[in-house]
Amino acid sequence: MMQSGVPLCNTCGEQVGFDANGEAFVACHDCNFPICKACFDFEINEGRRVCLRCGTPYLGKAMDHGDTEVLGNRSTMATQLSNSQDVGLHARHVSTVSTVDSDLVDEYGNPIWKNRVESWKEKDKKKKKKKEAPQVEHGPQIPQEQHMEENQPLDANEPLSRVIPVPKTRLSPYRTIIIIRLIILGLFFHYRVTNPVDSAYGLWMTSIICEIWFAFSWVLDQFPKWSPINRETYIDRLSARYEREGETSELAAVDFFVSTVDPLKEPPLITANTVLSILAVDYPVDKVSCYLSDDGAAMLTFESLVETADFARKWVPFCKKYAIEPRAPEFYFSQKIDYLKDKVQPSFVKERRAMKRDYEEFKIRINALVAKAQKTPEEGWTMGDGTPWPGNNPRDHPGMIQVFLGSSGALDIEGDILPRLVYVSREKRPGHQHHKKAGAENALVRVSAILTNAPYILNLDCDHYVNNSKAVREAMCFLMDPVVGRDLCYVQFPQRFDGIDRSDRYANRNTVFFDVNMKGLDGIQGPVYVGTGCVFNRQALYGYSPPSMPSLPKSSSSCCCFSSKKPAKDNSEVYKDAKRAELEAAIFNLREIENYDEYERSMLISQMSFEKTFGLSSVFIESTLMENGGVPDTVNPSTLIKEAIHVISCGYEEKTEWGKEIGWIYGSVTEDILTGFKMHCRGWRSVYCMPLRPAFKGSAPINLSDRLHQVLRWALGSVEIFLSRHCPLWYGFAGGRLKWLQRMAYINTIVYPFTSLPLVAYCSLPAICLLTGKFIIPTLSNLASALFLGLFLSIIITSVLELRWSGVSIEDLWRNEQFWVIGGVSAHLFAVFQGFLKMLAGIDTNFTVTAKAADDAEFGELYIVKWTTVLIPPTTLIVVNLVGVVAGFSDALSGGYETWGPLFGKVFFAFWVIFHLYPFLKGLMGRQNRTPTIVILWSVLLASVFSLVWVKINPFVNRPDASALSQACISIDC
């Protein structure tokens, strides 16, 4: 990328040249995107006055661009653009390839693609005139500003979205108080370290270590929120640009992925509602395909999908005719609102009543299938034609694919076509690693590439339905924007939930994370991927770098912070980046040459070892070359299903890059965090989209035990990432494509479970202090009192200012704080030990849950009490602190007036723990204040043993020297 110290232009491949001061020409001072003066002039004259990478306006520099010598004229630039097939802002690899073609060499220093491409281009020029006519049909390949300048109104050329920064009147005080709090923390720790408590040195040292870790965690959590932003989308401009009246819609196609495993744990009715909401989404029907992954190969799921497809023929036209929201029937009919509002059609009431009756009959059929599936026949399940169900053994069965809708024969009741609906169950064989959900998602990537190959993918959990029918259009306002969408790997929507009690006792909504942390990340490099409600760029899932990001040269190992200490690791990363750039160059050149025959295609695919990356499927490999999606014209439609079965075979991923560099990444139960992290390391950005009407809604576990086990699984995944090669502490430094605040945020996502260790210790300190009569803080001076007061005030003010710019309520903040303690001393603690046992010793431990009956009332599940070992640590802490409070007051009553002052500090400390654990205590009691006897017995036993051992050993209190004590007694004058 560098010749004589001058970078190369990412558009034409020439040197960027020098300005009047003799320095390298820089067009954008925000991101330093390399573009030469000639290309810069061309962009300005064409009316494009924003940076191609970051979208920042050129401002005054764009207006006055005549003071520097022009290194190339506009006619030359126009010729270069014409020779590259008029590639515009939508061509994702135009900048990368122009550089790769001139600089990419193999390990012996020989050019790989240059000579071959030149010969191909010579052959291509002969048929240039024949190509120009079909190119007119590919609208997205032409710059939108030129394509619609004469045909569309003015707003069609305007941005499809905009960033709304947080007002400075709210953000500046917030940043100021963060800095002040950081300074106060420094002074506070200086005082704490320089003023030890000699009478309880062990307690003091323990508290210091815990407090330092809490401060470190606060820094990791706070600073990625330094630049929060909001975004606004313009769906009307999207329609004006890509849905011109009287013409075919040019909106990009979208493949929906829905994953399910066990229909007895994930009710088929909920999955059916999710599928129905997808099929009825407000988007061109020929652009929508829904793929349901049944990873349990259950005949119940298959049969329920058959019923769902039949009911969709009635439900989809009803939703689109009357603009129904939401378009999941179960949740639409259960709304406690006036359903006649904004409905003026006289026939609506009649049709709604008929549709509700049809849906009730549909529910009866689904429930009958569920009841039938409760007991499996000894000979296994049999299909309607009498043949055995192929998935009778869920761990050993062939791949299965069934297309239900989308063909000419599958029309709705009004005679219109429906979106494609495909059932997929990948092959399972003993002895093969299947990688759970991540493996199922990767199988869907390959199947969808064979059958529909939409350029964008939206994945949902089976219990997350489409609540906003325009959600896909909201995402397309970012992904199809010529400027914003260039480097965009995914658009993440917040998770919203139904069926949670008003007080949200266990912080199921995660409001602080979704409304505060994610907005902060959106202002850096983008939000993290949270596993559902996310629209992906398919090219990003294939492991490529963004088009505006230059390829890493082999000498870029110096970019790594640890290059001097760990050169082998850095060289391997650079080698992988070089191989990835080589593959990107190969794909670009194959895409450029449209007139090669079948023999040339097969030779090129074999020559570049595409099979070692994507697997042994030429049809799939060819689909990866089609950047704008669609099935290749050279493919025989009759062989697509056979090829789709081939790509979901259990051995297809062997010796390929699947799960390593391509698709969902393996190695953790939280594959979502790992997948998004890899994309950000390659230089991609992501966007956080929060429409006024929530895009998707799901179901959350609302009882205490289920919630803790959910948090346990998340924390276990973070520990697995921490112990893997993808740990953000050391992975992805080469190239510097991951911003430091973004890296800090990812570090926070993998180290937070370890906070459980100091948190358990810190929550035990109040009881220890009350039982021993010692304290972790010495007698306070005026300076110390001021420091403590300043620290408490800074904590309160930071929270208030955060609530002010985010819009989160104080109740949500307090619930989040409470559950941080509850989850920290229970689920996170178990996750740390379970993670180390699993990753280091290979021992996989499971904490089983046994449910009791729930009350038949609203939120009845909230009061279910399930026995699980995760409940023991917080219960023990509550019992110990209550015992400590009683013991402290008893000592104060017998100790005189002077003992009451120190007691208040210790009691306040103990009640801080009890108040944070109060929702846990309330959930443990259930509705009738009943608690599992075994939990009480274990907790009381542990508390008693702990207290007795403490009294016997008392390790944190200095023992007086016996000789000194006897000498002191002798010197006493009685």
**Residue 259 assigned as binding residue:** yes
CA 605 to chain centre: 33
pLDDT of res. 925: 67
In tens, the pLDDT along 703-743 reads 788 888 889 989 998 998 998 888 898 888 877 788 899 99
In tens, the pLDDT along 378-404 reads 888 888 778 888 888 888 888 899 888
Active site residue 672: yes
Helical ranges in 535-662 per DSSP H: 538-541, 567-592, 598-607, 610-614, 618-624, 640-647
Classify burial at 265, counting beta carbons within 10 Å of its beta carbon; exposed 0-12, middle 13-18, buried 19 or more: exposed
Q: What is the mean pLDDT of residues 176-183?
A: 93
Q: What is the mean pLDDT of residues 588-611?
A: 52
Does position 353 have pLDDT exceeding 70, yes or no? Answer: yes
| Whether residue 326 has a cis bond before it, omega within 30° of 0 | yes
pLDDT of res. 839: 75
Mean pLDDT over each residue of the chain, to the nearest integer: 76
CA dihedral 236, 240, 243, 246 (to 10 degrees): 130
**Residue 127 assigned as binding residue:** no
Strands 534-537 and 488-492: antiparallel
Q: What are phi and psi of 137, to 5 degrees?
A: -70, -25
Q: What is the mean pLDDT of residues 451-473?
A: 92
Separate counts of helices (H) and strands (E) for the chain: 36, 15
Does position 88 have pLDDT exceeding 70, yes or no? Answer: no
> In this predicted model, which residue has the larger pLDDT, 631 or 196?
196
In tens, the pLDDT along 736-760 reads 788 899 999 999 999 999 999 999 9
CA 359 to chain centre: 34
Does position 10 have pLDDT exceeding 80, yes or no? Answer: no
In tens, the pLDDT along 483-525 reads 888 889 999 999 998 878 778 888 888 899 999 999 999 999 9
Any idea what the Cα angle at residue 521 is, between residues 517 and 522, rounded to 5°? 115
**Residue 436 assigned as binding residue:** yes
CA-wise closest residue to 169 among 793, 796, 805, 795:
805
pLDDT of res. 560: 37
CA dihedral 572, 578, 582, 587 (to 10 degrees): 90
Classify burial at 529, counting beta carbons within 10 Å of its beta carbon; exposed 0-12, middle 13-18, buried 19 or more: buried
Other beta carbons within 10 Å of 255: 28
**Burial state string for 611-634 with b = 16 or more CB within 10 A and e = fewer than 16:** eebbbbbbbbbbbbbbbbbebeee
User: Among the listed ranges 122-126, 294-298, 837-841, which one has the minimum average pLDDT value?
Assistant: 122-126
Read off the DSSP letter of residue 22. S
Active site residue 342: no
In tens, the pLDDT along 182-191 reads 999 999 999 9
Rounded CA-CA distance 506/874 in Å is: 14
Q: Which one of 41, 255, 294, 295 is the catalytic residue?
A: 295
Strands 229-233 and 161-165: antiparallel
> In this predicted model, which residue has the larger pLDDT, 535 or 950?
535
pLDDT of res. 98: 28
**Element holding 138 (H helix, E strand):** none
**Residue 461 assigned as binding residue:** yes
The pTM of the full predicted model, rounded to 2 decimals, is 0.75
Does position 469 have pLDDT exceeding 80, yes or no? Answer: yes
For the record, the structure tokens of 125 come out as 């020029």
pLDDT of res. 363: 93
In tens, the pLDDT along 141-159 reads 434 434 434 444 445 568 8
User: Among the listed ranges 23-32, 296-305, 774-783, 935-944, which one has the minimum average pLDDT value?
Assistant: 935-944
Rounded CA-CA distance 205/197 in Å is: 9
Beta strand residue intervals within 395-487, DSSP E: 400-405, 420-425, 456-461, 465-466
Q: Check: CB of residue 878 under 8 Å from CB of residue 921.
A: yes
CB neighbour list of residue 268: distance below 8 Å, 6 or more residues apart: 300, 301, 304, 366, 369, 370
pLDDT of res. 27: 79
Q: Which one of 412, 672, 706, 812 is the catalytic residue?
A: 672
Other beta carbons within 10 Å of 133: 8
**Residue 437 assigned as binding residue:** yes
CB-facing half-sphere around the CA of 492: CA atoms within 13 A: 24
User: Among the listed ranges 29-33, 526-530, 770-774, which one has the minimum average pLDDT value?
Assistant: 29-33
Rounded CA-CA distance 15/692 in Å is: 46
